[in-house]
A and B are shown apart, each in its own frame.
Chain A
Amino acid sequence: MSTDVVISDDRASSRDPRMNETTPPLPTVKVSASTNQRETPSRSADEMAQQAKKVVAHNVDFYYGSHQALHAISLEVPEHCVTALIGPSGCGKSTFLRCLNRMNDMIEGTRVCGDILLDGEDIYRRGTDVVELRKRVGMVFQKSNPFPKSIYENIAYGPRVAGLRKRAVLDEIVETSLRQAALWDEVHHRLDDSALQLSGGQQQRLCIARALATDPDVLLMDEPASALDPKSTAAIEDLIFELKTTYTIVIVTHNMQQAARVSDQTAFFFEGHLIEVGATNALFTKPTQQKTEDYITGRFG
């Protein structure tokens, strides 16, 4: 499965093959990716340390009514890296992800304490423009949710609600976004067809393209491949790999192999607590916490 994403030279060079030397093979998790692009599975801790902190969560508590779902989560998301959130079902990883674009605001009776900073600005500060925040922090959901509109209109929706009207500009955004999501070649001849006619994997890539069309800084992905077959999953993973050169990505996944394949940093959640966070290679090879080791070696979860 090859993608058609065109990467400029400077971006491509960020995936430096020399990194291989410092990256030991992973013993517990097989990283044989579906494609040949994964020779450099992830950035090292040093590399990540050099990146700016795009999102910083500090002591975040989250409540559904009286039930506390997150306990004092502190996590830094480096720019242009993929951060994976792993953990068993109900551990709070999705809840945390949805805090980052304030999606939980839509659920009645929820409450957040602590700070979440995007580029140093507290997104929960009073007076934050949530609409503006969500333009900067895009989201792809577990279940693909294309609008019951044409492929074109799905992609154009974000730019349109942002006030863009010029057809030529919209055309360009639609093409660029679909190319970025590696969907253009499959759909360019039928942009006016309903998005619901696409296959599951295509629909999910459409949703990614739709999120990219608003040109966000951060892309949140909530188990984007959990409902897809292996081929579509591989396509999505290839895509994540390409996208991190441009975007900062936070991905929730149930699938530890997936986390190991696509992410630079991994955070392990358990029962609402952040147990351990670190460079993906380190976390999967030398976890410092017993719980993390138990989880990644499949002893529970």
Chain B
Amino acid sequence: MASLPSSPTTAKGTLSPGGFRWLEAAIHGLLVACAVVSVITTIGIVLVLLSQSIPFFRQVAPLEFLTGTKWAPLFEPQHFGILPLFCGTFLVAGGAAMFAIPLGLGTAIYLSEYAAPATRDIVKPLLEILAGIPSVVFGYVAVVFVSPLVRQVFPQADLFNALNACIVVGIMILPMIISLSEDVLRSVPRSLREGAYALGATKLDVTLRVIVPAALSGIMASFILAITRAVGETMAVSLAAGAEAKLTLNPLTSVQTMTAYIVEVSQGDIPAGSLEHRTIFAVGLSLFVSTLLLNVCAQWILSRMREKYE
């Protein structure tokens, strides 16, 4: 029997409010203020987008904007159909996801289930470095290295093409998919792994039939976050994909994404307040709404899956 450590009895405090109560209140207030700043910022951004978009939509019918198949606001005759930009954006994001998701999930499974701790200790920091590379560098890499490579394989490809962007954006979102998926895979309780191994399961059985299904909601969340990031990616895409708003699914041609268009107009000498300038707010609002929808969609999928698995 261990004896309790003997401690000198100390005098108990009185029940009247102590001197530190005001500090509690102050910290509470400070933390509320922190939260309020980000909420207000978000509301402010939405308000700016709306206030600048409303004048735009007074001049251009929303239906024409959403269904028009030609985007040429800076040339005569002007066209304000956002579909080509939408198409470019999702061509790049979809292409990037198609290549990053299998590669990312495979790497995550390898790191979490197969790799020796020593290997993991080397690969994880490397991935963090990859995640820390500025996106303009990726754009540069796309133009200088990826594009010539693509054009060697597909000689008919444009110098700036969607495939370039798919590849570099895919590489950019890869660390995100790997590290988020690996976290959820590793957070699957050890007891589940042991339970499966104790039944005579091989590593592959355990991984594919227990670990991945149990972590599926988190894995899906990592995919959708990565796709959202790809949709919002700007710098690399505007360098790699070109600046031709085209309604096409051909990855070898030059396309323009919503973000790249906003960059183009912001850099140029379009007078603020003109209809042309307001297009960027309308496009920005569309971008905001589509990523929001993507996130809501992700939340919905997650909640559905959670019901099934927990």
Contacts and interface: CB of A to CB of B under 8 A. Distances in A.
A101 B117 contact: no
Contacts of A194: 308-310
Interface stretch (A73-81, A134-142, A264-272): A134-142
Given A147-B210, A148-B310, A196-B310, A134 B193 contact: no
A168 interface: no
Contacts of A133: 200
Interface stretch (B9-17, B48-56, B201-209, B267-275): B201-209
A116 interface: no
Nearest to A207: B195
- Interface band, chain B: 20 to 34
A46 interface: no
B200 A143 contact: no
Nearest to B190: A106
A135 B200 contact: yes
B183 to A, nearest CB: 18
Contact of B195 (A108, A132, A141, A196): A141
A161 B310 contact: no
A166 to B, nearest CB: 18
A101 B199 contact: no
B201 A300 contact: no
Nearest to B198: A139
B77 interface: no
B129 to A, nearest CB: 26
Given A106-B193, A196-B310, A300-B1, A148 B214 contact: yes
Contacts of B214: 147-148
B213 interface: yes
B200 A145 contact: no
B200 A162 contact: yes
A149 B213 contact: yes
Interface in A183-226: 194, 196, 207, 210-211, 214
Contacts of B199: 134-135, 138, 157-158, 161, 210-211, 214
A145 B214 CA distance: 12
A101 B191 contact: no
A103 B200 CA distance: 11
Contact of B209 (A132, A134, A157): A157
Contacts of B195: 141, 145-147, 207, 210
A214 B197 CA distance: 12
A149 B309 CA distance: 6
B189 interface: yes
B60 interface: no
Given A161-B202, A161-B205, A196-B310, A147 B197 contact: no
Contacts of B194: 103, 106, 139, 141, 145
A161 B209 contact: yes
Given A103-B194, A141-B191, 5 more contacts: A138-B199, A147-B213, A158-B199, A196-B309, A214-B200
Interface of B: 1, 117, 189, 191-202, 205, 209-210, 213-214, 308-310
